[in-house]
Amino acid sequence: MTNVAPTAAKAAPVATRSGPCRFQARSLLYPVLPWLILIGLWYAIHHSGLVKPTLVPAPHVVLAKFWTLVTTQSFLTDIWMSTQRVVLGVVLGVACAVPVGFLIGWYAPVRTFVNPLINFFRALPPIALIPLVIVYFGIGESAKVIILFYAAFFSGVIVMYEGISQINPIFIRVSRTLGATDGEIFRRIIVPLSLPHVVTALRVALGVAWATLVASELIAAQEGLGAVIQDATAFFQLDTIYVGIITIGTVALIMDTLLRQVSRRLLAWQERIDA
């Protein structure tokens, strides 16, 4: 009996160390595994014979093309121009969407009055508005940003409206029972409860804006990822098209990840379920 206890005591730290190590390995593997599977499927389709290999360039070919575009052409400038347009359109769109969504969600008469118009315009695809945008705003940078603003605004309004309308009225009743003024209720109750929906509106608007980017850069864009894709389409350069598409998705993913990290810090008080 005296010899068993020390052995168990020594074995216990090994078990506690293996647990965190296994968890760390799993946490590193899970984010990478879907990309490995996707690349494997990509190679499988390329070599399967189901489609011509020239129609589905292999991942290493696309990677080599990306490096060529970065080192020999102005691809980094194209990334910067597209990112700049998206950020500007999203910031302006969400800045206008937050107060509008708040009014629609909080005041029933405003919702009744404005809701049909919001649903009408948000159903219109931004690409359908390009001829009118060109007529009214020309073919400069402002026209491209307006298309992105349009997409970000209406997606942000819907998120804010749904979020604000679901705030539990009991918080307002309790605050008034305790003697809080309308200004204190707005500052201490409404604003904190609205912040998660503002972040969600930003994330949704960011995704919609990147999805609308190629359409916005149809307006005589000489620089930008949409312009790269369009030029490559004209010359049937599939590897360049793949580079442009993957770059759009990658930059959008990086921006969304950064926004999530910022939201975790700003909304540390909020109970969340994190995968």
The answer to the question of residue 82 being in a domain is yes
The answer to the question of residue 273 being in a domain is no
| pTM beyond cutoff 0.75 | yes
Query: Could you report the per-residue pLDDT of 47-72, keeping only the tens digit for each?
Result: 888 888 888 899 999 999 999 999 98
Q: State whether 142 and 115 are in the same domain.
A: yes
Could you give the number of structural domains in the chain? 2
Cβ(168)–Cβ(159) below 8 Å: no
Query: How far apart (Å, rounded) are the C-alpha atoms in residues 247 and 63?
Result: 11
Q: State whether 198 and 67 are in the same domain.
A: yes
The answer to the question of residue 271 being in a domain is no
Q: Which two tokens stand for residue 246?
A: 């993957």
The answer to the question of residue 275 being in a domain is no
Q: Domain residues for 47? A: 1-56
Cβ(174)–Cβ(188) below 8 Å: no
Q: State whether 162 and 75 are in the same domain.
A: yes
CB hemisphere CA count around 140 (13 angstroms):
4
pLDDT score recorded for residue 249: 92
Q: Which of 39, 56, 73 is the last residue of a domain?
A: 56
Q: State whether 41 and 66 are in the same domain.
A: no
pLDDT score recorded for residue 162: 81
| Position 1 confidence tier, pLDDT thresholds 50, 70, 90 | very low
Q: State whether 63 and 17 are in the same domain.
A: no
The answer to the question of residue 90 being in a domain is yes
Residue 217 has pLDDT above 90, yes or no: no
Cα Dmax for the chain: 91
CATH of the domain at 224: 1.10.3720.10
Q: State whether 77 and 15 are in the same domain.
A: no
The answer to the question of residue 134 being in a domain is yes
Query: Could you report the per-residue pLDDT of 221-274, keeping only the tens digit for each?
Result: 788 898 899 889 888 899 999 999 999 999 999 999 998 888 787 776 665 545
